Amino acid sequence: MEQALRSNKTSIIYIIILLFIALLFNLSSIGIISFDWKIQLILLSILLIWISIGVAMVARWLFKIFRSF
């Protein structure tokens, strides 16, 4: 039970960070926040790495579910 609660906390924190980075990137893309192109590139890189980590987390979760059948 504790493992599930820790996993849910981790997922919520992960989603909040992902949304914050995506929000920064989108606001800078449409011109509301003015960032240098280098900072935009760094934000995009972080966003893509974060998404790939999320895909790996979901794949591991699905593997555990299907392995239990």
CA torsion angle for 54, 55, 60, 62 (degrees, to 10)?
120
pLDDT top residue among 35 and 5: 35
- Amino acid in the structure at residue 41: L
- Expressed as residue numbers, the domain containing 60 is 2-67
Structural domains of the chain, count: 1
* pTM tops 0.85, yes or no: no
Alpha carbon of residue 68 to chain centroid: 27
CB 51 within 8 A of CB 17: no
Alpha carbon of residue 1 to chain centroid: 24
Compute the Cα dihedral for 42, 22, 19, 62 and give only its sign.
negative
pLDDT of residue 1: 46
> pLDDT tens digits, residue range 13-62?
888 888 888 888 888 878 888 878 888 888 888 888 888 888 888 888 88
pLDDT of residue 64: 82
